[in-house]
Each structure stands twice: as structure tokens, then as C-alpha cells.
A and B are shown apart, each in its own frame.
Chain A
Amino acid sequence: MTTRFNNLPTLKVDAGEKVPFTYKGKKFYGAKGDTIATALYANGIRIYARSLKYHRPRGFYSMDGECSNTMMEVDGVPNVRTETTYLKPNMVIKEQNVKGSADKDMMGFMDKMDWAMPAGFYYDVMHKPAKIWPIAQKQIRKAAGIGALSPDYIMPGKYDEIYPNCEICVIGGGPAGMTAALAAAESGKRVILMEVRPWLGGNFEYRSAKYADGMSYNERAVQLAKEVEACENIRVFLSTANVGVYNNNLVTGFQIGEEKDVFTERYVEIRANSVVVATGCIERPLLFDNNERPGVMQAGTALRMATTYGLLPGKRAVFSIGHDLGLEAAVTLFDLGMKIEMLADIREDGQDPELEKAIQARGITLLKGWVAATANGRKQVQSVTMTTVDGTVSRDIECDLLVASAGFTPLTGPLVVNQAKLKYDSHTNFFLPTDIPERMYAAGRLLGYEDGASIEASGRVAGYEAIGDAAKADAAKKALSELPGPARGCKLINAPVKGRKSFICFDEDTTIKNVKQSIDKGFDVPELIKRFSGAGLGPGQFGIPGHNLPLYTAKYQAQPEVKIRPTTVRPPLVPTNLATYAGTNHNMFKITPIDDLQKKDGGIFRNIGVWQRARYFSNDLTCKAEIENVRENVGMLDGSTLGKFRIHGPDAEKALQRVYISDMSKCKDGRVKYTAMCNDDGCVIDDGVVIKNGENDYYFTTSTGRAGQTVEWIRYHTRYDGWDFSIVNLTDSMGVINLSGPNARKVLEKVTDTDVSNEGFGFSEYKEFSIGGIPVRAMRLGFVGELSYEFHVPSSYMKSLWLMLWEAGKEFNIMNFGVEAQNVLRMEKCHIILGQETEQRTNLLDAGLGFLWARKLSEWKKVGAVALRQAEGDESRLTLVGFKMENKHRAPRDGALIVDDKVRGYIATARDSFALGEAVGMALVEKHMSKVGTRLSIFEDECNGNLIYGKVVPMPFYDPEGKRMKM
């Protein structure tokens, strides 16, 4: 392992603390604070991957994920950007897209095959004849690509989401972002500051050069970060990459969790009044031959590797740069012990005189107007052919590191995805944002400022503008105008070479030659060249080709740059994990108050809507024992999922008149009223019972599935009336026990002194009494067709009541019954379940519930009444019928179709009934088929044309007089 610097103030690694990891099956150590890529670099790894198409060796080039050079498989996850991913103990790291290894790749010969693979070659060659394409595609997929994901891989970790809001959101925690946040925070407004790195400071953070007298850039960054941290109304999101900005200033980001966090990664969605974009710049690659050979590195990357991670990136370096940060990097790296073989600046003039002095003082020769033409060395840089910008003089220089950078590229992504336009600016050589949307501001280096004070001042302007403080903003603008303006950008795009191996896009292996080929084929604008040659379609998006592609296109076509537009940038601005979008996969459901008892009794549970309920109590899915016990003895069902509500207030009855289809003024004390709700099309959406507790005070139930929408529904349909009533959703605070069977009364008599005889508590009556001190609301209903009591009690009493009834019922052979048994029991009685015997189009009349409708009460404007009046007598509608099967024990599947030459209806529910000794069911059929005796031909999925037959019979099937439930 290379020795590291351990005494620099800018360091973010602790070389003393070793972090073990596995690379290609061998154990290595990195330092605490390392990224995966720096840890590998420290261990002498120089070739990280092979490229997509040509399998060229690729190394450490950028540091902010601009290209896929350092993508690797980490812990089974492919395409991890190791240059931005921090090392964790015991990570398992592998190379990808190699046959053999990155160092010795058997596919390496592909690099020499480039003549056979011009831009878009697969469009041209491999479609003639058309049938070879599937074969060719398979081979291309095998040879090209990046990482591969195992299909059964499950992403570990916890994925979270957060939706904060604020007055001002600042994207970018560099000097401009921090000053913008601090300026905005002066107003006391809430500010969110979002930074992709795990620390604040941006491009000041890693620079030890002089910021002002007695202070380095790094010290200034630390000072600003302290101010931000001390400011109570600035909330900082570190390790949070900005992913998108949408209209009305919705800012999204992905945050990487630290060790102490409960999430691995989380989605952050910020609603902000104003947004300040201070994302700064990345470097614009210099185009020369083999410009992506391992050993070639951006100036900022070389500098940060030393100052942040304590690693000297090479021993003998050649610099070919076009900006002052490059010169500063040379000086800093020289001071750290790097030998500088040649320092070439593309610019003929315009260098910072103080930097020039520093370079002279160190005895480094600065050559102006020189540039790298070719990086030599088969797998790593061994020498560089340097040339004058005009290409007339050249010289080979031996080195192990080539620091190359043409200029800067502003990170305008957040502005552009929110519909700002870009316009070429010849002074900075940037595409600068124009038509920036309302309440969005740009600041800092992305506008071209390079002077430290100017960067901060522009942040201050944006901060004051974001809070709408015109006076302070004007003062800040004046201050900014007295400081150095945007710096002049280096204009050179490519070295004077032909460009067969000059890569404009690393991810997609697109060379200058490919761009020329595309243009010559007629793809004359960057957006088309991007599609045809692939430049910019890789994971780094605009990172590498973003500026060079449009600029080179203009140059090759001999057009002025101003006419050229860069390609469109779209969210996500950085590659993101689908797992984070998906969030945590909660299997969320509600449980009833006696869930544990039901489990203990062997309940087999199913998710039904938002609930989990016991569907069966044995592995016999026909539920024979449960059903027969209810018919012969007594059974108990946990019905707590039923929707339960109280509605009260001066206008409560009016509200019920509006939403229920029956005349609700006929609710009588001590009686249970069964009724239904329709929607405005007359389609029945809910049924339940209503109990009058007092004047304008009602208790009512809804089906399980409707409980969540009931309050909203009633309030919606009374929204114009200004009626005064309150609705309380008691669904979760009340439990329900259904005690059914011929022995139900005997059980109940054992636990209460109240008269529960048929005379004292008759069918369809409501009574409040106590069972062993527990206050119960009891109803006599007959859903399952037997003598039946339904007890509504506060949830906290549910368990006690259940156990009391269970104990009392033992001598009568009491048993549980589940949802499926109930389904069969009620089907035999032809009691419908909405959603099973009805669907969205079934109206009240179709379902045979027309008797509920109080048709004369038009003054209440009942929901559904108008449509029902219009649908009445419509012969084209489906109607609910009962049927028996010709083959006595062959029940059709629920949902099977009823057909003749057309589909005429479908089976709602059908079962082989134990009580009746034959298969029966209900079906929705066309009206002309609803007459008793009509033969129904039933088509089941995969029946191979073998229809089964039934015939329409009167309903209900079981106990047609209803004696059993009224006994």
C-alpha cells in the first residue's frame, strides 16, 4: 500500500484506521474515509474496468461520477460508481464487462477492430437480411455492455423517503451555495441546503492555495461551513445528490445514509418557494488520442486525490491544462513531492500572475500554447506526445501521470430540467442558463466566476433574491460588480490530431471520428448525433461529452458556436437505484383486536383490503366442518373489519337521507335498518345497517372495503348544503363478534340476565345490554341465515367478551368460522356481498335491492335516485339470478362466463352446498335469461370448449321462508 500524507488540513481520510475489503477474491485494506476507487488506487490498482465497445482499459479519471470508468460490481450490485461510493468494511468488489480481468481482458483485441465498427454500424450492417438481427443482437449483448445483474438478486438495505418543505432550497453546498443559504437565512426563513458530498465546502474544500491574506481556500470553506452549521434555520442534507427539479420548485434528491442513519438510501422530495442552484462546475475533457488511458486524470481529480485522500496520484507528471485551477494543482502537487516533467497551458495568455510567480519560484517550466496530442503506453500512460496548439512542433515526454483538462463545464442540469434554456457564451465558453423559471436563481462557478470573493458574492446575490429582499440584493449586486467577473474560458476543444482514438464520450466509446461519421451521414445536430453515435447516452449523461459534443459539432461543420444547442438533459441527473424509488416494501395491514386468538385457534389468514383476516380454520378449503357447525350448533366469527360510524348533529338525518337510498326518517328506536348507498349512476357501492340512537344521532355500518371512503363520500355529497353534522369513524375503536347458529341463544343466555328470547329480542331488533359487565350493542341479523347475534363492543373489551362467549359455548360445541364459511353460508341464503354479486356497473335494481329505494323522496336529491329512475325498465341490463347445476356437484368457478353465441353474463359466487346437497350459486345474466328454468351454458377458463350447464332457480336456496334466522 502506498504511503499517505497524514498531516494535511484538507484530509478526509484517517490512514491510521484500516478498512478491510475483498477485491477479485483477495483481501486489501483501505483507509477510513476512502471511496472504493481511492482505496483501490492506494493498493496500486490502475485499471478499473474495460470499456463498453472496444474493451479498452479504463482508470481513475474523474471524481464525481462523470463517467463509467470506475464502475464496478460491489456486493453483488453492478455499475456502482466506485469514485463516489464510500468504502465500508468487508465490501466485495469485482470488475465488470471483462473476459479474464480488467488487466488482461481477452476481448481487448476489439480495440483494433474499430475500423469495422463505425458509428451506428449495427443499424447499417446487421439488418440485411432482417433475420440475422436477433442473432447479431445476442452477440453484441455478450460482447458489449457494463455490469450484469443476477435476475434473482434482492437488494439488501432499508430505503426511506422524506418530504420536507422550506422557503428556500439551495442545491450545492460549495462557497456560493453556503453564502446563498446564509444570506437567505438572515430573514429567518427556513432554508434547506443540499450537498452531494458528505461535507460542505465545494471547490474551496480541497484547495490549500491562498484565498485571502492569512487564509487558505480550505480554511475559508471550514469557516463558512461552521457558520452554516450554527445557523438554526438552515437544514443541511449531506450526501444528497440532486436528481431533478420540477415545476413549482419541487426538488428531488437521493441521500446516502451514514452509519448512524436508519436508511441505506432515501428519496428526498423538497417543496420550496425559491430555489438557488449553485452546483458549480465539472471539468471539460481535453480531446486528444488515448485521452482516457489509465494514468490520464482531470486536474481536480489529481488534486483531490492528494489533498482529500492523501495519495500522490503519480511520481512524474505532465500537465496539459487550460485553466488556473490546473496551474494551482501543479503547484500544490509539486509542493507535495510530485515531479512535474512538463506544465503545458493551452492558453497563450490570461494566467493568474500570482500563480505564474509561484510556478517560476518552484523552477517549473510553464509552456504556453502547448497541448497533449497522444498518450502513449499500452495499458497505462508511459509517455506523452506534447505538441504546440498549431501542431507544428512536438516532443515525447516520459511520465506516469498525465493531468489533462481543457476547461470547465457548468452543472446546469437542475436549471435545464426545470425548463431553463441554454445559450452559448463566447467569453466563458460555457452554455449559460437563460429564461430561468420564476423563483429560481443561479449562483457561483456555474456562471463562470472563478475568483473566490466573486463566487461568494454571487451566492449572496442569489440568496437575497430568493427571499425577495430587493434592497439587500441590489447592494450585493453592486458589491459583486466591483469584484472580478466571469473568467475567460479556454476555447480549445481538441488537440491537432485526427481523432481516431480521441474519445468524446467514454461511456459509449464514441470517438471524434464517430462524430464525424455521424455528421457525414446527415445527423447534423448534437441531439441526432447523440442518438446515432451514442455519445452522452451512458450513465454519466452529459458529464464527459456535454460541452465537447456541441462545440465539436459546430467546429466540424464550420458553424459559429452560438447556433449550437447542447443535447437535452433529463432527470435523473445522477444514476439512481430503483430500490430507492421503490422504497421499503412494507407488507402493511391492520389486525383485529382478537387477532392473536384467531391465530391460536389455527386461523389461516388472508389479506382482505387493508385488513388481515382469518379466512379458513382448517386445511379443508371447502370449510365443511365450520359451515355444518353453524347450521347445526353455533359458531363465532370475528367481524371487526366492518366499517362502523357515528353521525350526529342537527342535520345528521338530512345527510343520511342524501346518501342512503332508503327513507332514513323511518329508522325506529330499537330496530336495525338495512339499506344501501348508490353512486350518481345508481350503481350500488355499499350496504349496511343503521341504528337510531337518538334524535339526529345514528350508528351505522359499512362494508369492510368502504370504511376508508365513507366520511369523504358523505361530506362530498353534502358539500353545497352547509348542513351541520359530525361523523366519527369508529371502525378501529369498535370490534364485532358474530354469534350464529341454532344454539346461539342458549350460549347468550348463559352470560347475560337480559331477556334475549325471541319475544324480548326479536329478529331485526337492536338492544344495548351488558355481558359480564361489558357494555354491548347487540343486533339480531341473519346474514348467514341462522339465529344470529352481532355484538359491537369497544375494541379493548373484544378479547374478554370473545373468551366469555367461547367458554359458555363449549357445551354447545362452539367453533370458529372464517370468512370463507360465512361466504358460503350467506350465498345459500342469497344474501349478496357487494363487489362479489355486484361490479362497478351493477345498479341497485340489477342486484335485486330495488325494495330499498324510497323513490318518492326527490326533495332529498338522493345520490343515485335520478339514474335509477332512468335505468328502470331497461331490458339491456344484467340482473342477479340464482342457479343450480345439472351435474349436481360440479360448481363453476367464480367469474366463469355465461355464454351462447355471445357472452351473456358471469358467475358471481358458486359452491357445492353441503346444506343443500348440490352445487348452487348466483350469477349476473342478461335480463331475458333471468326467468326461472332458463338453461345457462357456462364457459370456464381452459375448458377446451367443454361447457357446463345450470338452470335458473328461485332465490334463496336455503330456508326460503327465513324461519331459521327469525326463530
Chain B
Amino acid sequence: MALTLTCPICGERNGYEFRYGGEEKGPRPEEDGLTPEKWVEYVHMNECKAGVQEEWWFHRDGCGSWFKTFRDTTTNLEQKQEG
């Protein structure tokens, strides 16, 4: 409810315009020597943090870009990071 997100291209917009893309987990791991456990960890396991987490969003009804932002999962408010 009441989510507002800041798209780096379009600015602050209604949360309904975006699609959630999961927690920030870093780039895809190298495939050599990758165990099934590590792969599942990367693809499916989430921290589900109660607090500020970095996550991906897609501006579906806008410019069509993927971007990262910080959101407090307890208040559903986007956190502006300094610097």
C-alpha cells in the first residue's frame, strides 16, 4: 500500500507502475564449480529483511528500465541514500 518509487529516469512515481525484481544479490555466479546448493541459494533464497533492504524494480508502465533502490520493508517507504 502507498508505495512510491523513484525511477532514475522518470522520477518519483506511483508504485503500481513498477514490478518487483527481488532482493539485490549481486551478478550471476560463475558456473564452473557451482554446486546445486550455491545455485539454489543464489536463485531462490532470500534474506526477507525486516528493515531497509536493497532491491530491484522494473518501471513496467514507464521507461522500461531496471534499477536498484532501498526500501524499508517495515514501513514500505523508499529510503533515499546519502552520497
Contact = CB atoms under 8 A, between A and B. Distances in A.
Given A865-B31, A867-B39, A271 B56 contact: no
Interface stretch (A241-249, A803-811, A886-894): A241-249
Given A716-B58, A720-B27, A858-B31, A246 B1 contact: yes
B43 interface: yes
Given A246-B2, A248-B4, A712-B64, 5 more contacts: A720-B26, A720-B27, A720-B28, A866-B31, A867-B39
A719 B4 contact: no
Contacts of B19: 712
Interface in A283-311: none
A882 B77 CA distance: 53
Given A680-B43, A715-B64, A719-B66, A858 B1 contact: no
A250 B1 CA distance: 8
B79 interface: no
B14 A247 contact: no
B37 to A, nearest CB: 10
B31 A861 contact: yes
B64 A711 contact: yes
Interface in B4-42: 4, 14, 16, 19, 21, 26-28, 30-32, 34, 36, 39
Contacts of A712: 19, 58, 60, 64, 66
A622 interface: no
A8 to B, nearest CB: 43
B45 interface: no
A651 interface: no
B76 interface: yes
B75 interface: yes
Interface in A692-712: 711-712
B65 interface: yes
A248 B31 contact: no
A522 B64 CA distance: 59
A751 B21 CA distance: 49
B66 A861 contact: no
A870 B28 CA distance: 17
A111 interface: no
A481 B39 CA distance: 66
Interface centre among B2, B34, B56 (most CB of A within 10 A): B2
Nearest to A865: B31
Given A861-B28, A866-B31, A247 B66 contact: no
Interface in A857-878: 858, 861, 865-867, 870
A247 B76 contact: yes
A400 interface: no
A271 B14 contact: yes
Interface in A154-169: 163, 165
A865 B43 CA distance: 13
Interface bin, chain B: 20 to 34
B75 A247 contact: yes
21 contacts: A163-B14, A163-B16, A165-B14, A246-B1, A246-B2, A247-B1, A247-B2, A248-B77, A271-B14, A681-B43, A712-B19, A712-B60, A715-B65, A716-B56, A716-B58, A720-B26, A720-B27, A721-B27, A858-B32, A861-B28, A861-B30
B34 A866 contact: yes
A716 B4 contact: no
Contacts of A250: 1-2
Nearest to B39: A866
Contacts of B66: 712, 715-716, 719
A165 B3 CA distance: 12
A711 to B, nearest CB: 6
A271 B27 CA distance: 34
Interface of B: 1-4, 14, 16, 19, 21, 26-28, 30-32, 34, 36, 39, 43, 56, 58, 60, 64-66, 75-77
Contacts of A719: 56, 66
Nearest to B22: A716
Interface in A879-908: none
Interface string A142-185: 00000000000000000000010100000000000000000000
A867 B28 CA distance: 13
B3 A870 contact: no
Nearest to A271: B4
Contacts of B32: 858
A672 to B, nearest CB: 28
A680 B31 CA distance: 13
A711 B62 CA distance: 13
Contacts of B65: 715
Interface centre among B3, B66, B75, B76 (most CB of A within 10 A): B66
Contacts of A163: 14, 16
B27 A716 contact: no
A870 B2 contact: no
A893 to B, nearest CB: 34
A888 B53 CA distance: 60
Given A246-B2, A247-B75, A866-B34, A716 B21 contact: yes
Nearest to A711: B64
Contacts of A721: 27
A90 B16 CA distance: 40
Interface in A713-727: 715-716, 719-721
Contacts of B39: 866-867, 870
A165 B17 CA distance: 14
A716 to B, nearest CB: 6
A249 B77 CA distance: 11
Contacts of B4: 248, 271
A246 B15 CA distance: 14
A711 B60 CA distance: 10
A185 B35 CA distance: 61
Nearest to A679: B43
Contacts of A680: 43
Nearest to A247: B2
Contacts of B27: 720-721
Nearest to A658: B28
A720 B14 CA distance: 25
Contacts of B56: 716, 719
A103 B31 CA distance: 83
Contacts of B1: 246-247, 250
A249 B2 contact: yes
A881 B66 CA distance: 40
Nearest to B12: A165
A246 B75 CA distance: 11
Contacts of A247: 1-2, 75-77
A716 B32 CA distance: 22
Contacts of B21: 716
A720 B76 CA distance: 25
A414 B58 CA distance: 32
Interface centre among A715, A719, A720 (most CB of B within 10 A): A719
Contacts of A165: 14
A250 B34 CA distance: 45
Nearest to A858: B31
